[in-house]
């Protein structure tokens, strides 16, 4: 796994771009919504100041991605989960996809995760849209975005501790120049989008 360097940005922005499109009838303006798989995270990382050593590490990592070819796993350092996530959560059952997932391994009969909490399943980052309450057996139904596009196996682990998204450079032609002073580099910004390949 190609992890993004552990250089905490000044600002970390993660947003989801939805693969939906409204089609309006020219006769009565009634809308039809097209929904397709392919919702993606868009990530913007900004550093107000980087030391020379940090700048060299970051530049080397970005160059190693070779434009759109490479991928890196990025954590949103501005985010923290508020739920307890007590237990060892894993996928419960097979053939699950979409925006709802049954999971087991949680502590019994309690709110184990909060709306807005995030978890990683495989290579995808998901954000809960509702609180998750476990039953007496520690089983819970998670509602989230974006949707699952690769069907997980029964027992696949849900990573809630430092979850990451697999991403590629959004526009390699707009990489920062890393021109700075002897002290370091100022106002460096890099944009990524989720890689679904």
CB under 8 Å to 129, separation ≥6 — which residues?
A: 99, 115, 143, 144, 145
**pLDDT tens profile 108-154:** 999 999 999 999 999 999 999 999 999 999 999 999 999 999 999 99
Burial class of residue 177 (count of CB atoms within 10 Å of its CB; 0-12, 13-18, 19+): exposed
Q: What is the pLDDT of residue 183?
A: 87
pTM across the whole model: 0.91
18 DSSP assignment:
P
49 forms beta bridges with 186
Token pair of 103 as six digits: 């999971």
What average pLDDT does range 86-113 have in this prediction? 96
- Domains with residue ranges and CATH for the chain: 11-77+165-194 (3.30.200), 87-159 (2.40.30.290)
Distances (CA, A) of 6 to 61, 75, 84, 88, 110: 11, 9, 25, 26, 34
**pLDDT tens profile 26-78:** 888 888 887 777 899 999 999 999 999 999 999 999 999 999 999 999 999 99
């Amino acid at each position: 796994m190609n992890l993004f360097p552990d250089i905490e940005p000044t600002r970390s922005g993660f947003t989801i771009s939805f693969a939906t499109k409204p089609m309006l009838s020219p006769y009565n303006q009634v809308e039809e919504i097209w929904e397709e798989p392919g919702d993606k995270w868009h990530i913007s990382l900004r550093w107000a100041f980087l030391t020379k050593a940090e700048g060299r590490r970051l530049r080397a990592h970005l160059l190693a991605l070779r434009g759109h070819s490479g991928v890196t796993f990025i954590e949103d350092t501005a985010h923290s989960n508020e739920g307890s996530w007590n237990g060892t959560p894993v996928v419960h059952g097979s053939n699950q996809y979409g925006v709802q997932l049954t999971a087991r391994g949680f502590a019994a009969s309690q709110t184990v995760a909060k709306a807005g909490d995030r978890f990683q399943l495989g290579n995808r980052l998901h954000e809960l849209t509702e609180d998750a309450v476990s039953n007496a057996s520690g089983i819970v139904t998670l509602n989230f975005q974006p949707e699952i596009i690769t069907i997980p196996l029964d027992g696949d682990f849900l990573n809630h501790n430092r979850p990451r998204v697999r991403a590629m450079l959004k526009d390699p032609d707009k990489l920062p120049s890393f021109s700075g002073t002897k002290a370091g580099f100022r106002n460096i910004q890099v944009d990524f989008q989720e890689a679904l390949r």
